[in-house]
Structure 1
Amino acid sequence: MSARPRPLRAAFALAASVALALGAAAPAVSAGPVAPVAGGDHGWPHPDLATSYEATKKYRSEEKAIADGFLRTDVCVEDTSDAELGGMGYHYVNPANIGSTDPARPAAVIYAEEHGSGKRELVALEWVVPDTGQPVPRAFDRDFDGPDPIPGLGEVYSLHAWIYKKNPAGVFAPYNPRVHCGPCPEK
């Protein structure tokens, strides 16, 4: 079981508070396989990632994500352990999508700052499902990570998909060594 950084817990706690206030916790759902995106193969390890891409590509605009109910956070998540796994970035959480395993309805869209410009760019998606004693949730033919605790939500399972920024650790890895919250590291 991996420990989730406190800043991410705080971001999801904020979203959970909003979800509870709105009564918007969504039930877990699943979608069947779909055809890849028209125009070619992205090299993704599962065809449903094409559905995720088509449903979320408009969120390259931070403003569109916010307009569609994703709550902006100003806490950047990065692994600070000796393992130096990299970062996740800034999570924008849509409380209505917490609990979804639908490829088109991630709970969070994740942004990282373009170094030098300060502008945020879409880098990944994340699905979050509260642990209610059910079997481990699955999407894209793989088990979610967790469960891990998030204040306001309790124990949750999560799954990342790095479809907007290449991740040398893998499409479904939680952290990306190419994402950093502070100044770019010198290599």
Structure 2
Amino acid sequence: MGIHYIHPALLGITAGKPKVDGNGTHTDWMRPAILLYEPQAGGTLELVGVENLVWQSAWTDTQRPVPEINGKAWDAMADNPETEVDEAHNFMPHYDQHIWLFRENPMGVLHPFNPNVSCKHHAGH
């Protein structure tokens, strides 16, 4: 997935602990709330995609159906308390959608993971 740079105001971030939470329902793809970068060998970052995220509780309050793009519902992300895996990546339940605009994804432009993106050059890796 690469490194995610988020715009806290567009996401409506209200808390960071114990999990990231918010009240945002921003869905404008001309101004995405999250930019996806791949770390490069020389320490630079390459833009590979974009993402939007809305909080399930805030979205439900809007009384709109699950957000979708091109007929595809956004991915519903919530932790399963019966597993050790953090399915929602330390976020409260939300819907998100990745779009791989700048790096081909053999799994599809709207798939959440892209095997052609790596973090092997991340300084913390």
Q: Is residue 97–residue 110 contact of structure 2 (8 Å, CA) maintained in 1?
A: yes
**Partner Cα distance (1:180, 1:93) in 2:** 19
Going by fraction, where is strand more abundant, 1 or 2? 2
2:118 matches 1:180: yes
| 1:147, distance to aligned residue in structure 2 (A) | 3.1
**Aligned residue number for residue 118 of structure 1:** 43
Q: Is residue 103–residue 139 contact of structure 1 (8 Å, CA) maintained in 2?
A: no
Q: Is residue 93–residue 107 contact of structure 1 (8 Å, CA) maintained in 2?
A: yes
**Partner Cα distance (1:172, 1:162) in 2:** 7
2:102 matches 1:161: no
**Partner Cα distance (2:29, 2:50) in 1:** 10
Structure 1 gaps of 5+ residues are 1-87
Given the superposition, is the C-alpha separation of residues 140 and 107 from structure 1 closer, same or farther in structure 2, using an over 3 Å criterion?
A: farther
Going by fraction, where is helix more abundant, 1 or 2? 1
| 1:104, distance to aligned residue in structure 2 (A) | 1.2
**Aligned residue number for residue 141 of structure 1:** 71
**Partner Cα distance (1:138, 1:176) in 2:** 19
Q: Name the SS of the counterpart of 1:154 in structure 2.
A: coil
**Partner Cα distance (2:53, 2:73) in 1:** 12
Cα RMSD of the aligned pairs, angstroms, is 1.8
**Superposed structure 1 runs of 4+ greater than 3 Å apart:** none
**Aligned residue number for residue 91 of structure 1:** 4
Normalising by structure 1, what TM-score? 0.46
Number of aligned residue pairs: give it: 94
Normalising by structure 2, what TM-score? 0.66
**Aligned residue number for residue 106 of structure 1:** 32
Q: Name which one, 1 or 2, has greater alpha-carbon Rg.
A: 1
Q: Is residue 39–residue 46 contact of structure 2 (8 Å, CA) maintained in 1?
A: yes
**Aligned residue number for residue 17 of structure 2:** none
For 1:100, the aligned partner's letter is: H
**Partner Cα distance (2:27, 2:70) in 1:** 9
Identity of aligned residues (%): 37
Structure 2 gaps of 5+ residues are 12-24, 79-87
**Partner Cα distance (1:90, 1:150) in 2:** 13
Q: Is residue 101–residue 127 contact of structure 1 (8 Å, CA) maintained in 2?
A: yes
